[in-house]
């Protein structure tokens, strides 16, 4: 058997093996659990900035007499 023929036979065997595996993937690939895409420190910082800026805006509006 020549080298190119052996290589071709190996590729065909690999391809046929992949065909038999089709359809045997799991239902979901997403991990189930309490894994958040954002860390708790970053989430806390975001909440601090949002709530802090809204409180600052409320105080600024109240001290200016309600007129912008």
Query: How many structural domains is the chain composed of?
Result: 1
The residue segments making up the domain with residue 61 are 38-68
| The 3-state secondary structure of the chain, one letter per residue | CCHHHHHHHHHHHHHHHHHHHCCCCCCCCCCCCCCCCCCHHHHHHHHHHHHHHHHHHHHHHHHCCCCC
Residue 52: per-residue pLDDT: 95
- Of residues 39 and 67, more confidently modeled: 39
Does residue 21 form part of some domain? no
Does residue 68 form part of some domain? yes
Does residue 47 form part of some domain? yes
Q: What is the pLDDT of residues 49-63, one digit of tens each?
A: 999 999 999 999 999
């Amino acid at each position: 058997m020549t080298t190119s023929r052996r290589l071709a036979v190996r590729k065909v065997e690999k391809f046929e093996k992949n065909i038999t595996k089709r359809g045997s993937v799991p239902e979901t690939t997403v991990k189930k659990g309490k894994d958040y895409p954002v860390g708790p420190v970053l989430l806390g910082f975001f909440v601090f900035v949002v709530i802090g800026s809204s409180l600052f805006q409320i105080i600024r509006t109240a001290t200016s007499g309600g007129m912008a």
